[in-house]
Amino acid sequence: MDKILVHGGHSLSGVVKISGSKNSALPILAATLLTKEPCVIHHVPDLSDIHYMLQILSHLGAQVERASGTVTVQAEKIRTIAPYDIVRKMRASVCVLGPLLGREKEATVSLPGGCVIGDRPIDLHLKGFEALNAAHRVEQGNVKVFAGQLRGSKVSLRGSLGPTVLGTDNVMMAATLADGVTVIEDAAAEPEVVDLANFLNKMGAKITGAGTPTIVIEGVKELHGATHEVIPDRIEAGTFLVAAAIAGREVTLRRVQPQHLDTVISALNESGFKTSTAGSALTLHGNGAPKALNLTTEPYPGFPTDMQAQMCALLSRTGGLSSISETVFPQRFMHVSELKRMGADIELKGSTALIKGVEKLSGAPVMASDLRASAALVLAGLKADGVTEVNRVYHIDRGYESIDEKLNGLGAQIERVKA
């Protein structure tokens, strides 16, 4: 098992290229199961979660080829059962339910694993399938959905903590091959949902409204192959913006869509950092005295929960008293205890972190608990005195393509070693 050693005190500057979006690529790869024809997906990031998804597709009978960042999938004949052994490592594996149900009218998938950041049930997915005339049952850790024929309907996918992204993806994929029109109300509006809808439309689907709370899907008889390029990863981009804010002089991100980062950019601007854009390039300029912030995570277009931990790392060294309230995953603060091991002054009150900026952090052995927490600990180590030892970095490999190499390219000193 690898660990990462971050040698603190080195300034960042230069240019970094942002990879394709993990949260777009996973459902897009799953959507290739909707057709017998070949699909070619470009700009697929090299991540462990992607590897797991390709294993799942292969297990289900698809022919999968990968060359650099391009994946070709042809699912001419498919199976409809994805067992525990191949889905247990990744929660997003549940997104094969929708395309299997749409194409084969049945699917059995083991309930998935993934990050431990609070309860993330699939009840809204099943609610959406039921609206399409599918039944389901859960037994022995597996969920099975089945239908004689899918029929379009109207369904709300808003849960107690907001819309469901994967649920929106799943229902949208299944509905592409349903009879009639499906209307998803309270749909997730994330750019990754829009990217999936764009890919499905290239395959012959008839989807409108993606990116708004109401998505309309007019069912078609069949879908065909298509070629698509995955959008840039806005969370990786945001993470590098925060890295630049913590330890940078001037860092430029290449291949980004700045409009996907509006709330992150606004928060950094409010803290005193200057940013500039030029097409698909985004530059953050260093600031010697950042200001405290009060942030609240919300579903898109609000401040992303996937940037909460990284902002905790930044605000730990920012003068004054800051706060971050977590409304999407209220239990998502396992990184706080590890940042406190490094000298951070953070108090948790329910789902709000009160952060009093300190003059310095000290390197320490810390444990990554989930994907974004691991990134936050690496970022905190960039400015800490001494060496920060981040353990369980398999979490970070789920969502960041070569983060250590990219940061080293900007001037950091990071080693990946065997634990």
Which helix (H) or strand (E) element contains residue 377?
A: helix 371-383
Instruction: Give the separation between CA 317 and CA 304, rounded to whole angstroms.
Output: 21
218 and 250 inside one domain: no
69 and 212 inside one domain: yes
Question: Pick from 196, 211, 229: which residue ends a domain?
Answer: 229
Chain segment 11-62, per-residue pLDDT in tens? 999 999 999 999 999 999 999 999 999 999 999 999 999 999 999 999 999 9
Question: Pick from 205, 229, 253: which residue ends a domain?
Answer: 229
Determine the average pLDDT of the residues in 85-102: 88
Instruction: Give the separation between CA 218 and CA 205, rounded to whole angstroms.
Output: 8
The residue segments making up the domain with residue 221 are 22-229
- Percent of the chain exceeding pLDDT 90 equals 87
Q: What is the mean pLDDT of the chain?
A: 94
Instruction: Give the separation between CA 71 and CA 64, rounded to whole angstroms.
Output: 7
* pTM score, whole prediction: 0.96
Q: Which two tokens stand for residue 31?
A: 């959507």
State the burial class of residue 137 (Cβ atoms within 10 Å of its Cβ: 0-12, 13-18, 19+).
exposed
| Structural domain total, the chain | 2
pLDDT at 179 > cutoff 50: yes
- Percent of the chain exceeding pLDDT 70 equals 98
144 and 163 inside one domain: yes
134 and 261 inside one domain: no
pLDDT at 174 > cutoff 80: yes
Question: Pick from 229, 249, 268: which residue ends a domain?
Answer: 229
- Would residue 115 show up in a list of annotated catalytic residues for this protein? yes
175 and 242 inside one domain: no
310 and 405 inside one domain: yes
pLDDT of the residue at 344: 98
Instruction: Give the separation between CA 270 and CA 52, rounded to whole angstroms.
Output: 39
237 and 179 inside one domain: no
pLDDT at 89 > cutoff 90: no
Instruction: Give the separation between CA 140 and CA 176, rounded to whole angstroms.
Output: 30
pLDDT band at 288 (very low <50, low <70, confident <90, very high): confident
pLDDT of the residue at 112: 63
pLDDT at 114 > cutoff 60: no
176 and 270 inside one domain: no
pLDDT of the residue at 287: 81
Instruction: Give the separation between CA 373 and CA 388, rounded to whole angstroms.
Output: 14
366 and 406 inside one domain: yes
Instruction: Give the separation between CA 343 and CA 380, rounded to whole angstroms.
Output: 10
Catalytic residue among 39, 95, 115, 312: 115
267 and 345 inside one domain: yes
Question: Contact 233/257 with Cβ under 8 angstroms?
Answer: no
129 and 247 inside one domain: no
139 and 248 inside one domain: no
pLDDT band at 208 (very low <50, low <70, confident <90, very high): very high
